[in-house]
Chains A and B, each alone.
Chain A
Amino acid sequence: GDSVTQMEGPVTLSEEAFLTINCTYTATGYPSLFWYVQYPGEGLQLLLKATKADDKGSNKGFEATYRKETTSFHLEKGSVQVSDSAVYFCALSDPTGYSTLTFGKGTMLLVSP
C-alpha cells in the first residue's frame, strides 16, 4: 500500500537558518502530495500542495517540489523564524479515490532566537 517516510525529529535550528525536511513516498499511480503543519494544541493546516510531477508548491516562504524520479517532496525554507516551530507532516492522496490521506509520522521543528 501507499506509504510516506519523513525524517525523524526534532529538527533544531537557530532563527534565519535554512530548513530542509525530507519526505519520500511509495504509491501506485500518480498521487497528490501535501505538507501540513500543526502548531501546539491545534489541528492540521494545509501548508502547500503539488498535484503532478515537477510542480512546486509554495506558501509563507516554504517550498516543495514534486520529484517523481526520486519519489520525493522535500520541504524547504530559506530563513526560518521562531514562529515556524511546529510539527510538519508530509502526506499523499490518491486523486482517483476519495481523497483519503496517508501521512508520514511528522517532524517536529524547534527554532530558537
Chain B
Amino acid sequence: NAGVTQTPKFRVLKTGQSMTLLCAQDMNHEYMYWYRQDPGMGLRLIHYSVGEGTTAKGEVPDGYNVSRLKKQNFLLGLESAAPSQTSVYFCASSPRGQPQHFGDGTRLSIL
C-alpha cells in the first residue's frame, strides 16, 4: 500500500540543467497537485490536475511545467533550473472533494 510515491528523494542540479520529478499514486485519485515548501512560507501550489490529460496553474507556476498523461502519474518539469527553485517539493493526490494525501517529498538543491 504505497499511497503517493515521489522520485527521486534528493537531487542536486547545476543552474540551467533540466530535470523531471515523478509522482505516482496507486489510490485511483482523480486530482493531483504539486507544492513547494520553503522555510517560513508554508506550502505553495505550483500546478494541479483534475484528471488525466488536464493541468492548471497554481499560485507559483513560473519556471515549471507539468504533464498528466496517465491518471496515476503527475510529472513536474524544470526546463532550466535556477537557484530560486531550491526547495522541497511535495506531490499530493485526492478523490474529488476529499482531503489530500501527500508524498514524502523531493529535496532539490540548485547550485
Contact = CB atoms under 8 A, between A and B. Distances in A.
Interface of A: 4, 34, 36, 41-46, 49, 89, 95, 98-101, 103-106
Interface of B: 4, 31, 33, 40-45, 48, 50, 56, 58, 90, 92, 94, 96-105
A43 B90 contact: yes
A99 B40 contact: no
B42 A105 contact: yes
A41 B31 CA distance: 24
B41 A105 contact: yes
B87 to A, nearest CB: 14
Q: Return the 8 tightest CB-CB contacts between A and B, nearest first.
A: A43-B102, A103-B42, A105-B42, A44-B102, A103-B43, A43-B104, A46-B99, A98-B50
